[in-house]
Amino acid sequence: MQELRLGPLTAGLQKRRTLPELLVAQASITDMVVISDEDRSMKSTHEMIVLALNSGSSSLKFGLYRVRVGKADPIITGEAEAIGEAMSAFHAKDAQGHSLAQEKTSIPSQQAAVIRITKLLTDQNMLVPQSIGHRIVHGGPQLLEHCRINESVLSQLEAAAVFAPLHMPAALLVIRFAQAHFPGIPQVACFDTSFHAQMPLIARVLPIPRALRAGGVQRYGFHGLSCESIVRQLAGELPSRLIIAHLGNGASVTAVSDGASIDTSMGLTPSGGIIMGSRSGDLDPGVIVYLAREEKLDANRLEKLVDQQSGLLGISGLSADMRALQNVQDSNPDARLAIDMFCYSAAKQVAAMSAVLGGVESLVFTGGIGENDPEVRAEICGRLSSIGVELDHARNLVASDPISASSSRCQVRVLPSQEDEQIAHQTWSLC
């Protein structure tokens, strides 16, 4: 399949010029050429500078990568946090881990965050990105694969915003602003749902009237870029039956058979599955009916309750942050209960996914909690002896790979979630 792409003039400029020069130069470049099949065959030797943008409801992670086949080397990585709050944070580091920025500042909007990132790249005299990749939480029923962004794709993304109202408005703002701020640079949508798009019907179809399927009401699954990055990291040692536990403020568990997702804990939206920081996870649907009927909660109030007032925060009445709860667990029974319920919920999903797979060879913990919290990992694994999980507690404390005991029938590993690198890989492959 042929596609349009910026021509040789642009490529030559990108090798020689820095970001400030190119932001001016590219605005007037109109030479477009068609990539032939022969050109595409040269892809294996092609190197590209890719900017990955990973937008959350109040954050924007970013990474500038030098990408070639099978490898994405970070040049600069960082994050704008607490966007829109009284005091935001911005930090960045280079490939060697040296700090390039560490500041408390006002970042009132996602657009302001993009401007701050651009200033950092300019100050560091970086080459302009040759393409930009965006993490998109939900593509809806039409956008099931990573793709180049055009106006048709943007229209479909706007329609899909109803499925993830916490995340999609911010992501759309970033895309629109990046298009204006980096004129002429191809941009790619990388979907968290793509990894799960080929799940079998038995996992994808929800037990509701089939007519609703036409409107896209089904299980989509999320954290797909994280799962893709784990599969990529495992590469030649990918087990046939793998469970990925992505545990963070958002959390999910996915069953992977021979590299493909066959079931996952999240459903139509990122609100379902296991207990999360402020999201409820799975609820008896009768709870929602009861609250609507007896408490007179409308859709907006129900959405706020399920997404922002539940989970660890709702149980503890204190915090959505696992670290804050662990700090007071000895003196606060509700904090201890929230931790126990989180681990209990995650262990149930891991065991369920083991049944889906017909056994499990490897369990991988990833995400902020999964990678950094040995106490949570130990509590979850302590409930999984029936599927052959046995931890080496000394190795678990330092996340030494693997963290399972030599006698464990299931290997247990801790691997980093490399969502931004995965965005860079996918963007390279499409540009």
CA 333, CA 145: separation in Å to the nearest integer? 45
Structure token digits, residue 416? 């980093």
CA 22, CA 127: separation in Å to the nearest integer? 8
Quick check: 389 and 353 in contact, CB under 8 A?
Answer: no
Beta-carbon neighbour count of residue 214 at 10 Å? 8
Render the burial of 224-233: b for 16+ CB within 10 Å, e for the rest.
bbbbbbbbbb
Beta-carbon neighbour count of residue 137 at 10 Å? 27
CA 172, CA 270: separation in Å to the nearest integer? 17
| Closest by Cα among 188, 177, 83, 179 to 133 | 188
User: Cis omega (within 30 of 0) on the bond before 333?
Assistant: no
Render the burial of 298-332: b for 16+ CB within 10 Å, e for the rest.
eeeeeeebbbbebbbbbbbeebbbbeebeeebeee
Find tokens 């607490």 and name the residue.
82
> What is the sign of the dihedral through the CA atoms of 114, 420, 279 and 309?
negative
| Closest by Cα among 78, 70, 65 to 132 | 65
* Terminal-residue alpha carbon distance, the chain: 13
CA 356, CA 354: separation in Å to the nearest integer? 5
Catalytic residue flag (residue 192): yes
Alpha-carbon dihedral 11, 76, 133, 279, rounded to 10 degrees: 180
Residue 55 β-bridge partners: 60
Q: What is the helix (H) or strand (E) element at residue 328, kind and residue range? A: helix 322-328
CA 27, CA 29: separation in Å to the nearest integer? 6
| Closest by Cα among 51, 21, 184, 73 to 117 | 51
Quick check: 299 and 334 in contact, CB under 8 A?
Answer: no
Report the amino acid identity of residue 6: L
Which DSSP symbol is given to 213?
A: G
Structure token digits, residue 313? 């925060």
CA 110, CA 177: separation in Å to the nearest integer? 9
- Active-site pick, 31, 73, 94, 192: 192
Q: Which residues are catalytic?
A: 192
